[in-house]
């Protein structure tokens, strides 16, 4: 391992490769900030440039663009509630409310520190555990993935406020229903397309997120104009945009969250097909439950933990996704699938022998991640006070800009006007739901997990001759399902247990 680290340092620390790290981080951060343009688009744009470089420099450049985009994606989520990257959707749940309170600088600083910590811890775990984790990820079957998706759905409890559990469950079901639109890949049958060719590939996740968050936020601001008190509060908030100091209590609050979310995010990233988006949602849900009634009630209103958890997890997941890519040749996400194509284009076959046959590539990517996260922190922290000034733009200018970037971002992905029409429709429906006080996050969670749940359930049933016995035949599947049942039942039963214990104590007091 030490020999590998020295090889990686020797390769990554050359002036040209360092320049590639800086270039990739800057490019990725900028693209991540733009709503609609994620790491997949960024890396796709980098392929022609990377093809002209030697393999080490090319892969270092694309890796830097990848985690740079995830690092920068939190900016638009926090400032204008328009997630630049899918994995930063959960960041907007508390980042945007904190920005509206006049603490945009602090929210961006929390995101920067958390992203840095998640990336660095993820890189250390990648260095130490990559060969072993490759074997673990291979042991996961479709039945285990199905159970993992069920566990992910239990996070809906984290996104339902007090008295909104039924509404959150209904929105989750809507998300699951939307995920079934398109062509059934197993049988080739069209489902709920209504004869529209544009729906054959299903509903775009980016379009749905931009409609339900960015576009609906702009429409809500137009439909609910600010009162005199609101304007005064907004003016006061703008005066504190650049403040990014964290108190000792906030640092203490963040530290254990960063530790737990880094490990969870990295493990989720290691599993092929899971990715940073699921990692961020699971981390957010886990921390909301662990926070307790008082701290948990702050989630969705500008909680420090609510920003730190998803930001740490999505960066750790991004690092973890390199485990199956480099050690097995299996892409863990759409982004790493593009990188796999680039590696094969270089004539490199990722797999168990990569770090033996071509150690300079394997170790230089890992070392460049450490360097890249340090560079991202150094570059972004001084810019936070200036980035936060976006909120000082008057609403009459900012709202049209949000709508413009939302529409253009979605159009640039598909170059299809149908997606624009569908986005406007979803945006209007989202506004109606928000007026009725329905949470949007459970719908997004259901949509993300729905497709993967269905695919893995089909495979599990196919392997087991249409028998549901797979639910209790594998120990790992049973364990994950029991954890899912526990996370769902504990929040429901806890209040009743507390009432029972309180009554019992009262009875004992009267008897005494």
Per-residue pLDDT tens over the stretch 79-117: 777 776 677 778 888 888 888 887 888 888 888 888 888
Q: Which residue has the tokens 């284009």?
A: 345
Question: Which phi and psi angles does 92 have, rounded to 5°?
Answer: -70, -20
Sign of CA dihedral 132, 137, 141, 143: positive
Interatomic CA distance for residues 97 and 109, integer angstroms:
15
Counting as low any pLDDT under 50, the low residues of the chain are: 237
Q: What is the pLDDT of residue 429?
A: 92
Could you give the CA distance from residue 413 to residue 208 in angstroms, rounded to a whole number? 13
As beta bridge partners, residue 183 has 190
What pLDDT, on a 0 to 100 scale, did the predictor assign at position 414? 73
For the question of whether the overall pTM of this predicted structure is more than 0.85, the answer is: no
Q: Which among 75, 407, 100, 106 has a CA at the least distance from the CA of 226?
A: 100
Tell me the C-alpha distance between 411 and 504, whole Å.
61
φ, ψ of residue 84 to 5 degrees: the values are -75, -25
CB 335: neighbour CB atoms within 10 A? Answer: 28
**C-alpha distances in Å from residue 250, one per residue of 197, 244, 286:** 51, 12, 19
Tokens in use for 366? 């890992």
**How many beta carbons lie within 10 A of that of residue 469, not counting itself?**
10
The token pair that represents 493 in the structure block? 């039963």
Among residues 269, 324, 364, the alpha carbon closest in space to that of 64 is found at: 364
**CA dist list (Å): 457 to 147, 200, 203, 280, 345:** 9, 21, 21, 23, 34
Write down the pLDDT at residue 237. 47
């Amino acid at each position: 391992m030490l020999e590998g680290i020295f090889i990686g340092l020797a390769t990554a620390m050359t002036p040209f490769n360092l320049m590639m790290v800086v270039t990739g981080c800057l490019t990725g951060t900028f693209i991540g900030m733009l709503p609609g343009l994620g790491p997949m688009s960024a890396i796709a744009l980098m392929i022609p440039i990377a093809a002209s470089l030697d393999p080490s420099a090319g892969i270092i450049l694309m890796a830097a663009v990848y985690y740079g985009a995830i690092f920068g994606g939190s900016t638009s989520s926090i400032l204008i509630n328009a997630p630049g990257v899918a994995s930063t959707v959960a960041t907007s749940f508390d980042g945007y409310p904190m920005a509206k309170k006049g603490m945009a600088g602090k929210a961006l600083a929390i995101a920067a520190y958390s992203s840095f910590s998640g990336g660095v811890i993820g890189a250390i775990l990648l260095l130490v555990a990559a060969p072993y984790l490759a074997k673990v990820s291979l042991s996961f079957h479709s039945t285990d993935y199905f159970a993992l998706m069920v566990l992910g759905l239990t996070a809906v409890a984290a996104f339902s406020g007090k008295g909104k559990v039924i509404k959150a469950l209904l929105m989750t079901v809507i998300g699951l229903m939307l995920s079934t639109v398109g062509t059934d890949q197993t049988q080739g049958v069209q489902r709920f397309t209504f004869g529209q060719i544009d729906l054959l590939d299903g509903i775009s996740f980016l379009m749905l997120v931009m409609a339900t968050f960015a576009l609906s936020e702009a429409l809500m601001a137009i439909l609910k104009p600010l009162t005199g008190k609101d304007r005064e509060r907004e003016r006061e908030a703008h005066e504190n945009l650049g403040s990014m100091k964290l108190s000792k209590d906030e640092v203490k609050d963040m530290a254990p969250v960063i530790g737990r979310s880094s490990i969870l995010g990295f493990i989720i990233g290691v599993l092929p097909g899971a990715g940073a988006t699921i990692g961020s949602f699971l981390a957010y849900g886990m921390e909301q439950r662990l926070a307790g009634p008082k701290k948990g009630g702050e989630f969705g209103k500008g909680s420090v933990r609510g920003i730190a958890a998803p930001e740490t997890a999505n960066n750790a997941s991004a690092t973890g996704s390199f485990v199956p890519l480099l050690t097995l040749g299996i892409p863990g996400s759409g982004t790493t699938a593009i990188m796999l194509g680039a590696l094969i284009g270089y004539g490199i076959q990722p797999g168990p022998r990569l770090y033996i046959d071509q150690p300079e590539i394997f170790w230089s990517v890992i070392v460049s991640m450490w360097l890249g996260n340090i560079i991202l922190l150094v570059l972004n922290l001084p810019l936070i006070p200036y980035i936060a000034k976006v909120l000082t733009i008057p609403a009459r200018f900012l709202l049209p800009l949000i709508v413009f970037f939302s529409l253009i971002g979605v159009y640039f992905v598909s170059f299809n006007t149908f997606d624009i029409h569908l986005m406007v429709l979803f945006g209007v429906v989202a506004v109606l739901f928000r007026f009725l006080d329905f949470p949007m996050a459970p719908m997004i969670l259901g949509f993300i997990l729905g497709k993967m749940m269905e695919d893995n359930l089909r495979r599990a049933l196919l392997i087991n001759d249409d028998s549901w016995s797979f639910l209790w035949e594998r120990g790992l599947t049973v364990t994950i399902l029991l954890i899912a049942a526990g996370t769902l039942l504990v929040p429901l039963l806890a209040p009743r247990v507390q009432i029972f214990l309180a009554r019992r104590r009262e009875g004992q007091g009267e008897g005494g």
